[in-house]
Amino acid sequence: MKRLNELFDTDNDMKIYSIHSDSRYVKPYSIFFCIEGLSVDGHRYVEDAVFQGAKVIVHSKDLNYYHDKIIYFRVENTLVELNRVSNLFYDCPSNKMKIIGVTGSSGKTVVASMIKDAMAKYCSSGYIGTISLEYNGRKEECPYTTPEALYLQRKLFEMNRAGVKVVAMEASSHGLALGRVDGINFNIAVMTNIGAEHLDFHGTKEQYVLAKQKLFEMIKPTGWAILNSDDLNFMTLKNNTQGRILTYGIEIESDIMAKNIQLHLDHSEFDISFKGNTFHVNSPVIAMFNIYNVLALTGVLIAMGCDDKMVIDAVENVKPIEGRMELIQTEQQFAVIIDYCQHISNYEAIFEYVDGVRQGHGRIIAVLGAPGKRNYKLRKELGQLANRYLDHVILTQLDDRGEDVYEICKTIQKEIVDINSVIIESRQIAIEQAIEIACKDDIILILGKGHEKFISLDVGQVDYPGDSQIVKEALERIYYKGEDEDEL
C-alpha cells in the first residue's frame, strides 16, 4: 500500500492498494494506467476500470467522460509513467538486489539459467525468463520471455522480500523495445549473439540491434557489460555503454577465451583463460555455441567478484537446462538430444555439431517441424539443411496455429531429396517412431519444442506432455518394460 502523494506530485494522500494496466484485474482503491499496446488501447477500458473500483486514472488522450470522484492524471506517455510508478509502488526492488540482464538472438535462457544456478551456491538467487520464474525452490510460468513492467516489479518485490540477492533475467528484443524493463536497475548486461531474427516485429536489422543496445545503454558506469568479441555487432554495443567492459570469445583476442576445444557427445574439454591465467576444464556442456555461453557465464562471475576457484567450479559443474541441448543416453547405446531450436542458425549449428561427434556408422535421425503462420522461409531452409546433414527425418507437428500440419510438413519435405523422410502428424507418435527405429551409435534429434508443455493452436493451446517425458516413457515401454516381464 502506498499513499497517492508518494507516487504523484499531489497533496492527496489517498491510500492506493494496487496498480493495474488491465481493467479486468482492477480492484477497489487502485490506479489504472491506459497503456496503448500493439493491438489494444487501454483508453477504451477506462469505464470498466472505474466500475471495478479504480480511483485514479492515468491517461495520455482525451477521455469521453470524467467522473467527479475519480482523480485523473494526464501524462505524455503512460508507459513511461507506469514504469516510474510501479517501481515506486514496489519500493524499487531492483535497487536492493543484483540484477543481471541477458540479451541475444539465442542463448539467453541457457546463460541466465547458468548464472542463477552458479550463484545459488553462495546466495539466494532467482531467474526470470522463457522457461519460468524461479527462486527459493518456487517455480511458476512467465507470461512472456520478458514480462511486462507491472509483473516484473511485483515479482522482483516478492523475490527481495524472500531474501533473494541475485536475479538473472532474460531481456528479449521485444521486451526492450516495448519498454518493459525501463524501470529496472541492471547491474550487469550480457550479450550472447545477434542474428537477423524477429524482423517481422522490428522491421529492420538496425532496429533489432538498437533494441538490444538499449540494455547496455541502461548500464551505469559502476556496472558491467559482458560482450561477445566474435559477434559482428560487438563494437556497436561496446561504443554504446557507460559500463565497465569484459569481453569473451574464441576467435578474437578477448579478456576471457576458450582455446584447444574438443567437442564430445556428452561433454566438452578446453583451455579457458582469464585474468592472465589458463585452466584446462572438462565441462558437461555440448556444442560450440554452449562454449560461448560458458564464457559469458565466466564474465558474469568475474564481474560479481568470484575468485578463480569459484569460476572454474561453476564451469565444470554446469547444470543441464531442460530442453536446451538436453542429452538422454540409453542402455541401447544410442543418444537423444532435445532442443528448443527456434531459428535456422540454431538448426545448422546443432546439425554441424552432431555430424562432428557421431561415432562409427551411426545415423542422425531428426524429429522436427515448422511453426504455423510464422516465418514461412524457415520451411524451405529447414528441408535443405536436413538434406545436407541428416540420415532420416520424421516431420511432425510443432505449433500449427490453425494451419494444416500435413501441408506444413509437405513444404519441408519437398526440399528433402537425398534421404528418407516421413510425415507423422502426431508429435508423440513421431518421437516414439524415432525411438523404435534407433540403433547403436545413432543420435536422435528432437527439435523445436524444448521445455514447452503445450501445442499452440489457432486459438489458445492444448496440453502436451513434453518431448523429454515422451522420450523417457517410450524408452521405458519399448526397451525396459519388456525386460522386467521376461524376468517374471
Q: Tell me whether residue 23 is annotated as binding.
A: yes
Confidence of residue 481 (pLDDT cuts 50, 70, 90): low
Q: In this structure, is residue 247 part of a structural domain?
A: yes
Q: pLDDT tens across 399-429, in order? A: 999 999 999 999 999 999 999 999 999 999 9
Are 158 and 257 in the same domain?
A: yes
- pLDDT category of residue 197 using cuts at 50, 70 and 90: low
Task: Determine the longest span between alpha carbons in the chain, in angstroms.
Answer: 81
Q: Same domain, yes or no, for 100 and 85? A: no
Q: 136-152: b or e for each residue (b if 16 or more CB lie within 10 Å)? A: eeeeeebebbbbbbbbb
SS3 12: coil
Q: Which three cell numbers stand for residue 196?
A: 537477423
346 and 212, same structural domain?
A: no
Whether 118 and 243 map to the same domain: the answer is yes
Residue 487 lies in a domain: no
- CA–CA separation, 468 vs 451, rounded Å? 8
| Percent of the chain with pLDDT strictly greater than 90 | 87
* Domain membership flag for residue 486: no
| Residue 345 counted as an annotated binding residue | no
Same domain, 72 and 129: no
Q: Say if 254 falls within a structural domain.
A: yes
The one-letter amino acid at 255: D
Q: Is 229 annotated as a binding residue?
A: no
Are residues 35 and 153 located together in one domain of the fold? no
pLDDT digits (tens, 9 = 90+) for 33-63: 999 987 789 999 999 999 999 999 999 999 9
Residue 111 falls within a domain, yes or no? yes
Beta strands in 105-255 (DSSP E): 125-128, 133-135, 138-140, 166-170, 188-191, 224-228, 244-249
Rounded CA-CA distance 383/369 in Å is: 10
Structural domain tally of the chain? 3
Q: Supply the range of the domain harboring residue 132.
A: 92-317
Q: What is the pLDDT of residue 352?
A: 96
The residues that bridge with 15 in the sheet, in sequence order, are 3
Task: Tell me which of 89, 122, 155 is where a domain ends.
Answer: 89
CATH number of the domain to which 276 belongs: 3.40.1190.10
- Asked whether residue 180 is assigned to any structural domain, the reply reads yes
Residue 82, amino acid? L
- 308 & 374 share domain: no
Which has the minimum average pLDDT: 8-12, 200-204, 472-476? Answer: 200-204
Indicate the residue among 317, 339, 367 that finishes a domain.
317
**Distance (Å, whole) CA 23 – CA 33:** 9
Would the pLDDT of 484 be above 50?
Answer: no
Does residue 485 fall inside a structural domain? no
- Which pLDDT belongs to residue 394? 98
Residue 18 maps to which CATH number? Answer: 3.40.1390.10
pLDDT at residue 332, as a whole number? 87
Statement: residue 15 has pLDDT above 60: yes
Is 180 a known ligand-binding residue? yes
Q: Same structural domain for residues 388 and 438?
A: yes
| Residue 488: inside a domain | no
Tens of pLDDT, residue by residue over 303-345, are 999 999 999 999 999 999 999 999 998 888 999 999 999 899 9
Alpha helix (H) ranges present in 246-400? 288-303, 308-316, 344-357, 377-389
* Whether residues 84 and 100 fall in one domain: no
Instruction: Name the domain boundary from 43, 65, 89.
Output: 89
Average pLDDT, the chain: 94
Q: Do 81 and 171 lie in a common domain?
A: no
pTM exceeding the 0.85 threshold for the entire prediction: yes
CA distance 427 to 171: 30
**146 marked ligand binding residue:** yes
Q: Residues 93-114: pLDDT tens digits?
A: 999 999 999 999 999 999 999 9
Cα–Cα separations (whole angstroms), residue 146 to 97, 109, 142, 176, 178 = 18, 11, 8, 8, 10
Residue in 351, 284, 339 with CA at minimum distance from that of residue 114: 284
Give yes or no: residues 260 and 399 share one domain: no
pLDDT over 50 (residue 486): no
Residue 77 shares a structural domain with residue 96: no
Which CATH number is 353's domain given? 3.90.190.20
Mean pLDDT of 112-127: 97
